[in-house]
Amino acid sequence: MILHVIFGQRTCSYPGEYGPEVIDCWDENCVDDNPEGFDEAIEKAKARMGGKNPEFTSVRVLDVGLDGDKIDRLLNKTPSLAGEIITK
């Protein structure tokens, strides 16, 4: 599974005031289903760099690979409780 993460560096008053932050995140299936929407999300994020007082100084898309099978197991794992049945 690939996540396409739109990161931004917020405009700082002094170096290190803010760390990078996630503005938006799309998985590969969402991008495949709606590529125009993903492009719009990127452009919307980049627009936050403009004007006299830009909110962000930098916006980038970073692709992050994840093990989809492990995520599926975590999301669909059935919790179990250990115990014993006591009858009288």
**What are the sequence ranges of the domains in the chain?**
1-19+28-62
What are the tokens at 48? 């936050």
Beta-bridge partners for 25: 5
Does residue 3 sit in helix, strand or coil?
strand
pLDDT at 80 over 80: no
- Give residue-wise pLDDT tens across range 12-46: 999 889 999 999 999 999 999 999 999 999 999 99
Kindly tell me the number of DSSP H helices and DSSP E strands found in the chain.
3, 3
* Residues 56/7, Cβ–Cβ less than 8 Å: no
Model confidence at 51, pLDDT cuts 50, 70, 90, reads confident
